[in-house]
Structure 1
């Protein structure tokens, strides 16, 4: 029997127009490097998602690229053409059959794309500014026509997600990829309608939102969610500050989105620049958003007490990422009063039991500090 202390984690939640989540726990989007070479979802990926879809209220998938020159990872599945709809359907149905809502995260890698993954090594971004770091390729600035084409690509991938049976899409505007590159003063040095002032740097992200919402209105016969994920700060100078992000949040809340999702490694991390505030970034954002749009919080939440403490900040939905890889039965253990049995460190001998695909497992085991338990 569940410890009543954690009952609030299992309250249902109405999101969007007509979608009800069975609890407040979300599986965070995590790249798994494990798709087939042709961009279709692999058997190993389907097993991985099946294993983690029984307990949570909603699963947000790894990102899928909306156009061929936006593929950001080896082993990433595609949504860039209609031939991918059966592959996407296979993933959506695997998640939904286990009681979770299925959300497809969609993105374009921009200047973060490995040259070998795109035709002719043609890396594009808002401007011809490379990422910080030695040997980073210099991207080519997108033309006006190309920008408008990519915006339509986001809409087309949304149409495919609808046809494939997903319950929504999450716009990946975080982690330094193309949408964030247009918002960032580091990567966007344009002086046209797509850049310059903060307001103009918002043009591309908001145009993507508008295009996706237009497609949803035209094609979705059932309730369909549109969310947006963002990173609140960048380390670069110039770069996105917390003050910039609050302007982004204000602009996004006016767009009628179904949720916002903050991308953080630590739920309790505090702002570094842009505002003077002793609270965590998520608490500041939650205060700014209020009840205008639901917020998903994430970042180093491992135990049931971690999740409860996070929920008590007023953030209505809590996402687990690494912890659901470490312990796919996290939700069921809390629900059954077995929270003391939750595993919070990766066991190097349990890959088969955890149903983690080989490419992802290799990344975990050979990346000290990324997962607890990997030294």
Structure 2
């Protein structure tokens, strides 16, 4: 059985010292323009010890891709000095720094975009109460957005990061192009699965072109995806099986399955024999390392994930237990934070923006 202390060597040649990763999480700690703050650098640096890699929260690749106030940005060269400080802070703990990059697409609001209308693959609003109707990107805009992912990759390399993770999950723009719910286009980026995959395929070309041109050492490129959508029509397990096969034949270093619970089971009656993560592992069939995530808090959780995946990403536990990985490695499990997260909000030192975000999420306080 794989142990969390085992090294991992990716196809790119990069190596993680162990199988533990910090999962990307929203922190809302950046400045209004997406520039990194001192609080955010300290936040990641404080949590990096003991981990093989830290995956940052999402950084938008262009201004119209901003998803929320306080979101990190990698859309402009002016961001490079701050991003460099972030990478160095993580790497100071002998931990790889991976920048997650994203375009929110329709999963944002015009208020976050200075009044600009939100955009997506098509003019179909998301199925949520506060959803706005997006404007379908023109063909030229689609191609520019694809190039933006390549430019963001260049900036990540020039900032000193060890890699990037493409945020193709949680219904953001990359997923919107693959989803039959959000993508009703009739050009080369819409229609059947092959055409809806063209955005992803061309984005990977741009990303790896930047890696080949600018990286002077092994550079990690991962991809995060959500295996199912609740919308009808929407992404189903059959679609994900097809997507996983395409991604497994690419140059990607790993595939990261976005799940709330690592043992969660599909809604599809044809895929209930095992968990979603186990199905992905079977479909990948050893071609790429698979990252499992979702509700990992204990040593037993880590071992459970490594039965059906190659690496373990830990999110909320590390948010409220910054030295969790050190405790796990040293066998100090008794010192791990074990209380409910809604209670941990009040006893964990957090910057004000992150505290307010966490408090609102976990309903532990009423904000004035």
Q: How far did residue 17 of structure 1 move?
A: 2.6
User: Structure 1 length as normaliser, TM-score?
Assistant: 0.93
Q: Which moved more, 1:271-280 or 1:233-242?
A: 271-280
Q: How far did residue 109 of structure 1 move?
A: 0.5
Structure 1: how far apart are the matches of 2:211 and 2:181? 32
Matches within 5 A, 1:60-79: 60-79=55-74
1:112 corresponds, among 93, 107, 132, to 107
Map Cα deviations across residues 249-269 of structure 1 (whole Å, 9 max, x no partner). 011111121011000100000
Matches within 5 A, 1:226-237: 226-237=221-232
- Structure 2 equivalent of residue 373 of structure 1: none
Matches within 5 A, 1:353-372: 356-368=350-362
2:214 corresponds, among 207, 212, 219, to 219
- Structure 2 equivalent of residue 324 of structure 1: 318
1:351 corresponds, among 345, 348, 351, to 348
Map Cα deviations across residues 158-211 of structure 1 (whole Å, 9 max, x no partner). 000000000011100000100000000100011111011111111101111111
Structure 1: how far apart are the matches of 2:261 and 2:136? 33
Structure 2: how far apart are the matches of 1:165 and 1:53? 16
List alignment gaps of at least 5 residues for structure 1: 1-5, 371-375
Runs (4+) of structure 1 moved beyond 6 Å? Answer: none
Q: Which moved more, 1:320-329 or 1:132-141?
A: 132-141
Q: How far did residue 133 of structure 1 move?
A: 2.4
Indicate if the aligned counterparts of 2:264 and 2:275 stay in contact, CA closer than 8 A.
yes
Number of residue pairs the alignment of both structures matches? 361
- Structure 1 equivalent of residue 333 of structure 2: 339
Q: How far did residue 312 of structure 1 move?
A: 2.1
Structure 2: how far apart are the matches of 1:40 and 1:368? 26
- Structure 2 equivalent of residue 159 of structure 1: 154
Map Cα deviations across residues 254-310 of structure 1 (whole Å, 9 max, x no partner). 112101100010000011127334100000000110110111000001111111111
Structure 2: how far apart are the matches of 1:321 and 1:276? 26
Q: CA separation of 1:300/1:340 partners in 2, compared to 1, >3 Å: closer, same or farther?
A: same
Structure 2: how far apart are the matches of 1:251 and 1:230? 13
List alignment gaps of at least 5 residues for structure 2: none
Indicate if the aligned counterparts of 2:320 and 2:348 stay in contact, CA closer than 8 A.
no
Structure 1: how far apart are the matches of 2:103 and 2:27? 16
Q: Does 1:82 align with 2:39?
A: no
Indicate if the aligned counterparts of 1:69 and 1:119 stay in contact, CA closer than 8 A.
no
- Structure 2 equivalent of residue 204 of structure 1: 199
Q: How far did residue 13 of structure 1 move?
A: 1.4
Q: How far did residue 55 of structure 1 move?
A: 1.0
Q: Does 1:97 align with 2:104?
A: no
Structure 1: how far apart are the matches of 2:194 and 2:269? 17
- Structure 1 equivalent of residue 145 of structure 2: 150
Map Cα deviations across residues 199-255 of structure 1 (whole Å, 9 max, x no partner). 111110111111101110111111001111000001111111011011110111111
Q: How far did residue 98 of structure 1 move?
A: 0.9
- Structure 2 equivalent of residue 304 of structure 1: 299
Q: CA RMSD in A?
A: 1.6
Indicate if the aligned counterparts of 1:111 and 1:125 stay in contact, CA closer than 8 A.
yes
- Structure 2 equivalent of residue 174 of structure 1: 169
Matches within 5 A, 1:2-13: 8-13=3-8
Q: CA separation of 1:189/1:274 partners in 2, compared to 1, >3 Å: closer, same or farther?
A: farther
